Structure 1
Amino acid sequence: MTATTTLTERYISATIRSLAPEMQDDVRAELEAAIADAVDARIEIGEDPESAERSALTALGDPGILAAGYAERPLHLIGPRYYLTWWRLLKLLLAIVPICVLGAVALGQALANAPVGEIISSSILAAGGTILHLCFWTTLVFVILERSGTDTGVKWDVDQLPEAADDGVGRNELIASLVFLGLAVGALLWDRFRGFVVIDGEALPILNPGLWPWGIAVLALIIIAEAVFAVVLYRHRGWSVGFAVVNTVLALAFLAWVGVLLLSGDLVNPDFLAHIVTAGGEGFAAGDAEAADEGGIFRILAVLLGFGIALGVGWDIVDGWIKTARRRRA
């Protein structure tokens, strides 16, 4: 057996070995004929036999790719048929699930009175693990669909066209923002002077009266800044990176104000908490005792309130940056 014949046989063997047995003889015969014709054609134009065969085999390409073509076997994990469905689903899952896991783990650790470092590390590790699992298992499912040819049942039609993006700077948005901020100021004044809770004809403020005037003044400045920001944003008729940064700073300022007061226990009126204990009776006291390892019911409620406010602030920040990105693309 000559070196040239051995090279040809090696190529044919590498091509047919991954094919089904019933296909191998036909493919072998087809390749032998094709290679022989290609070699003869090159010899006729002056190439020596060894170089002619090497060039002919090189032109045929990787035998693995050639075999995949004979077997109609895809050489990609996810092809065009499934790619967009996979990518859209994966983006949706990554936008929702890791954040939910991070928040849930952080909330659980905070309720368990874990140290701050443990809360942060546990939350990040859980979110990171979730991202890895989502990417792996979602991709694996679509790889199986690709190989099996299963129909996902997802069909596109014109009803799926997205609505025109709202940049959030219309007159209605401005009015809604100003009304909400006005209600917030009204609620502060009502709580202080009229009271949402009245005991024996006297107002019992929910917020700590000790916040007046300076603590409330800081909050009032944040509210005024938010109102001015809403007006300037409306007049500018669109979001920009600068507006998104200002929105982020204002949101974080409000979160810091609430967070500091919650952590120090100065946000809620102690007399109001005492009234709740008295009104709750023995059952409430027993529940508070059962939660003593976590700091009591009031600490649990404070943690839940803090997480709720942080969630709202986080969405406000993200919403501003999303609208900025939309504006820049437009």
Structure 2
Amino acid sequence: MTATTSYAERYLAAVARAVPASAREEIAAEVRATIADQVEPRVAQGEDPIEAERDVVTELGEPTAYAASLIDRPMWLVGPRYFAAWRRLLRLLLWIVPACGVGGVVLGQLIARASVGEVIGSGIAVLVGTIVHVCFWTTLVFFILERNGSTGEHILDWDPDQLPQSAEVRTGRTDLVASLVFLVLAAGAVAWDQFLGFFPTGGDPIPVVNPAPLTWGVLLAFIAAEVVFALVLHRRGRWTTGLAVINTVLAVAFAAVTLILLVRGELVNPGLMEFIAAEGGEGFAQGQQASAAQGGVFGILGAILGFCLVVFSAWDIADGWLKLRRLRAA
């Protein structure tokens, strides 16, 4: 058992995130000593060290609630019994629901060919409204549970396996292998598409990506850059500000280049679109006419593809900075 994978260190990191920075070092030392004092007798009696740590942190309880007890900070909003569970669920929902809501509205506005101002205005309105609703309804549910005397057996369930792994663990060999496998498959898919074709035509398949060397060459160049980045990250062993910045630059560059190619009609193979239009015949023409205000069928698909490219890059950027933030908190 190493320090980066032990229940004790993960519990310490979770407690540290819940206390003020000025008291973090003192609290961490106190919690570490408390855990050690309870683990050592168990190990001396022959208990497995990992299981001993797990049992001890289980007895200490949910780390946010335990941290509040150490700094004598009452957790009152929906009641002390439910505060930690309410806070944990609310954070999770605020990460997911507003992003999904804003993403859906922005995509719809892009398909409808709304102006930039309308897209931004709609996105902000939905963001604010979603945050308000998530906070209100989540708090109301816990308020009702607390007031009607619910035992909250499942709501209050907590065990050490819910503790997040340390940032060092997430940049280990498993992460490297997963990244390299994905990137190799992506490179293989681009090569296969260019030399053998992906889209079936009843005869020889045709490429989906524009066969122009500049287009697929750019994609392979970004894949190669990501491979180098993954190797450097693994060698460094942990996220740093410099690596997070490089990751951001790569993601922004990928989104910008692919969007430019998409807008200029140079990302997707023009021959593929011509084939689809010809094979669709009258039905495709009717679909184009019905969706003419949104740029036709291809216009709608282009908006969806562009949106996905932006979301993919944004997620990659956020993932890097979040891992760096967790590492610093630990």
Q: Name the CA distance, whole Å, in 1 between partners of 2:202 and 2:86.
A: 63
- Partners of 1:173 and 1:134 in 2: how far apart? 33
1:24-74 per-residue CA deviation (whole Å, 9 max, x = no partner) reads: xxxxxxxxxxxxxxxxxxxxxxxxxxxxxxxxxxxxxxxxxxxxxxxxxxx
Instruction: Indicate the SS of the match to 1:81.
Output: coil
Q: Which residue, 205, 208, 211 being the options, matches 2:207?
A: 205
Q: Please tell me the residue identity of whatever aligns with 1:156.
A: D
Amino acid at match of 2:189: A
- 1:313 Cα offset (Å): 2.1
Distance 2:300 2:248 in 1: 27
Superimposed CA distance per residue, residues 273-329 of structure 1 (whole angstroms, 9 cap, x where no aligned partner): 010111223222222221112111111111122222222222222221222222223
SS at match of 2:86: helix
**Does the alignment pair 1:174 with 2:176?**
yes
The root-mean-square deviation of aligned C-alpha atoms, in Å, is 2.5
Structure-1 separation of matches of 2:179 and 2:165: 22
Identity %: 49
More displaced, 183-192 or 102-111? 183-192
Letter in 1 for 2:263: L
Matches within 5 A, 1:227-238: 227-238=227-238
Q: Which amino acid aligns with 1:307?
A: F
The residue number in structure 1 matching 2:292 is 292
One-letter code of the match for 1:174?
Answer: L
Letter in 2 for 1:261: L
- Give yes or no for contact 2:77–2:83 (8 Å, CA) kept in 1: no
SS of the residue 2:113 aligns to: coil
Q: Report if the CA contact (8 A) 1:197-1:204 is conserved.
A: yes
Equivalent pairs counted in the alignment come to 254
Write out the 4+ residue segments of structure 1 that deviate beyond 6 Å after TM superposition. Answer: none
Distance 1:123 1:99 in 2: 10
**TM-score (norm. length: structure 2):** 0.69
Q: State the match for 1:307 in structure 2.
A: 307
| Change beyond 3 A, Cα 1:112–1:164 | same
Q: Does 1:140 align with 2:140?
A: yes
1:80 partner SS: coil
**1 or 2 for the larger relative contact order (CA 8 Å, sep ≥6)?**
2
Where does structure 2 lack aligned partners over 5 or more consecutive residues? 1-75
Counterpart of 1:41? Answer: none
Residue ranges of structure 1 left out of the alignment (5+ in a row): 1-75
The reply to whether residue 187 of structure 1 matches residue 153 of structure 2 is no
User: Partners of 2:329 and 2:138 in 1: how far apart?
Assistant: 29
Q: Is the 8 A contact 1:291 1:297 kept in 2?
A: yes
